[in-house]
Amino acid sequence: MIDWKDRKEFWVAGARIADPVTGRIRTGSVLIRKGLIEEITWQKQVKTDLPVLEAGGLLLAPGFIDIHTHLREPGFEDKETIETGTAAAAAGGYTAIVCMANTDPVIDDPTVVEHVLKRAADSGNCRVYVIAAVTKGLEGVDICEYHHLKEAGAVALSDDGKYITNSQVMRSALEYAGMQGLVIISHCEDPYLTNESQMNESYWSTKLGLKGAHAASEEIAVARDIRLAELTGSMLHIAHVSTAGAVDLIKKAKKRGVVVTAEATPHHLTLDESMLEDYDRNLKVNPPLRGKKDIAALLAALRDGTIDCIATDHAPHTAIDKQVEFDLAPPGMIGLETSFAQLNTELVGKGELELIDLIRLMTSRPADVLGLPGGKMAEGEPADLVLIDPNERWTPERENLRSKSFNSPLLGKELTGRVQGVFLEGKWFSSII
């Protein structure tokens, strides 16, 4: 077999090429040279002296971009490291990820931003961008030095995992972030309302005997942040939207011209609260899995553009972290390696979303939300690409995942659609173990 890893110039021929910008999938061939997409032709075969990778009708798309990954390094290397998290990303078809600030130390200082970027350059398997904290230590009290964080390389700001409860702090944060042209990504859950909750508040929380968090805990938080974004004119992005009411607030805000964007996770789009019946700790996430009506509203919002993009909220936790009483288990599930297959199976496979729309929500849209490069299938762009067999069936298991943690509710469940590998600046990284 030819080792594509070391090829500097080659054709990928006979692929179904997905262009998220034009919204078309057409058969053609792509010339990759010196890490760039040099040429795209709509010929199935190419006459050339260069090596040719016969794609055999596989789907070739821009590499996925995840704007919500918890890499856990520094501080929680037992859960994930930059090396394993980026290997998981590449295996899932991602060529760029943006990592969250809730590490230890928190990414609230330029030296930590620089440290993460250096570690990613040394041991990363995909591009890594860094989100810095909004407030020092994620404590919601003192805002960080955004100018210095930006100079060090931060691309956005977030206290993800926590809501900034002090409205004056959030107002100032938006004002200063706006001056630096940085988006604030808000984790919208009012902690006074979610207090010690384990799942969504509904019939199911009563039935299962778990304390619930009402949808209002998210909607109140979203409403306040939208109002503050409107007041300040600064850019706001709502992380992991999970309720129909939150969708409604975002839709109305966009209509009035508020600069607000939003993401939804693969788990909130495909899994519902009733699945907690077996008390699987891997289904415990913040915000919690909601009801079927919420899922329907999220899907409608993906289709009409109210929700701008899909982001994983890949949140690794060790088996030891999770193998405790339900209320002691930390919230979060991994997602990088299963997101495409999960969404392809549950949404594209069931007629909820077109394949090209799913690709757009995982490529050009997240890039647009944070103003990142990539996500485009065009000549002159870096050859950051993903090769996918949308029909291959496979089953995620501990043994075929690269993440250091296995806290996924999808282990042992057959999915349709498998990432074959990515080209990162033209270099092949095969995902199949």
* Contact flag: residue 237 with ligand DOR (CB under 6 A): no
* Contact flag: residue 35 with ligand DOR (CB under 6 A): no
Q: Return the H-helix or E-strand segment holding 215.
A: helix 215-232
Give the shortest CB-38-to-ligand DOR separation in angstroms.
40
Per rule CB under 6 A, count of chain residues that contact ligand DOR: 12
Give the shortest CB-162-to-ligand DOR separation in angstroms.
8
Residue from 28, 85, 161, 374 that binds ligand DOR (CB under 6 A)? Answer: 161
Return the DSSP state at 63: P
Residue from 117, 285, 302, 347 that binds ligand DOR (CB under 6 A)? Answer: 285
Nearer to Zn ion, 66 or 313 (CB): 313
Q: Of 235, 269, 260, which Cα lies nearest the Cα of 339?
A: 269
Give the shortest CB-315-to-Zn ion separation in angstroms.
6
Give the shortest CB-369-to-ligand DOR separation in angstroms.
17
The span from the CA of 401 to the CA of 389, in Å, is 18
Residue from 187, 224, 290, 360 that binds ligand DOR (CB under 6 A)? Answer: 187
Q: Which residues contribute to the site for Zn ion (CB under 5 A)?
A: 160, 313
Strands of the 94-99 sheet, one edge to the other: 64-69, 94-99, 127-132, 154-158, 183-186, 236-238, 260-264, 309-310
Q: Where are the beta strands (DSSP E) in 253-340?
A: 260-264, 309-310
* Contact flag: residue 322 with ligand DOR (CB under 6 A): no
* Contact flag: residue 332 with ligand DOR (CB under 6 A): yes
Stretch in the footprint of ligand DOR (CB under 6 A) among 293-301, 327-335, 375-383, 405-413: 327-335
**Does the annotation mark 313 as catalytic?**
yes
The span from the CA of 376 to the CA of 386, in Å, is 12
**Cβ atoms 171, 177 nearer than 8 A:** no
Task: Read off the tokens for 295.
Answer: 């899922």
- Per annotation, catalytic residue among 108, 159, 313, 384: 313
* Contact flag: residue 346 with ligand DOR (CB under 6 A): no
Q: Of 381, 374, 423, 429, which Cα lies nearest the Cα of 129?
A: 374
CA 158 to chain centre: 14
Give the shortest CB-112-to-Zn ion separation in angstroms.
17
SS3 at position 41: strand
The residues annotated as belonging to the active site are 313
What residues line the site for ligand DOR (CB under 6 A)? Answer: 70, 102, 160-161, 187, 285-286, 313, 315, 330-332
